[in-house]
Amino acid sequence: MSLFLSTYVNKVDKKGRVSVPSLFRAALETQKFQGIVVFRSYKHPALEAFGLDRMAQLSQSLDKNFNLFSDTQDDLAASIFADAQQLGFDGEGRITLPDDIAAHAGITESACFVGRGATFQIWAPDTFKQHQTAARARVQQGNVSIALHASEVGQ
């Protein structure tokens, strides 16, 4: 499984190209498609970014957990798969962000790549900084913790 950690800010050039962090590209090198899949987040002014393998898992989960043609399945498919775009890496490890996708996240001059474990997001840097500050406050106020189970940490 690919694992995406840390936060990186990279410049976006005038053609809309941005370098995907090298550690993120390395996490994806075992998949056949050398690139990422992005779609507009339906929760945040950000882009959700996955490897193609993770998108296949998401598709299987959607099929398994929702009845085909149910309103929920239809809404999620329209929000995720209909919106998703495969963006291949160029020779320098860059992707080209389509204008409509970049506009959703307010990405203009810089893009902030945010590791989320099995996936990552792409934000406008200032917007992410505000989001992270608010998220940290919610976690602290809720006294949130995570229980690790032996089978999940690979004894």
> Residue 57's domain is classified under what CATH number?
3.40.1550.20
Give pLDDT tens digits for 29-55.
999 999 999 999 999 999 999 999 999
Distance CA 153, CA 155 (A): 6
**Three-class SS of residue 90?**
coil
pLDDT of residue 15: 96
**pTM (two decimals):** 0.90
Q: Evaluate whether residue 21 is within a structural domain.
A: yes
Distance CA 133, CA 39 (A): 24
- The tally of domains found in the chain comes to 1
Residue-averaged pLDDT of the chain: 93
Q: Evaluate whether residue 141 is within a structural domain.
A: no
Q: What distances in angstroms separate CA 9 from CA 6, 51, 115, one per listed residue?
A: 10, 20, 12
Q: Evaluate whether residue 155 is within a structural domain.
A: no
> How does residue 68 score in pLDDT terms, banded at 50, 70 and 90?
confident
> How does residue 91 score in pLDDT terms, banded at 50, 70 and 90?
very high
Q: Which burial class, exposed, middle or buried, applies to 135 when counting CB atoms under 10 A from its CB (0-12, 13-18, 19+)?
A: exposed
pLDDT of residue 107: 98
Q: Evaluate whether residue 32 is within a structural domain.
A: yes
Residue 89 pLDDT greater than 80, yes or no = yes
Q: Evaluate whether residue 92 is within a structural domain.
A: yes
pLDDT of residue 144: 84
Domain of residue 38, residue span: 7-124
> How does residue 85 score in pLDDT terms, banded at 50, 70 and 90?
very high
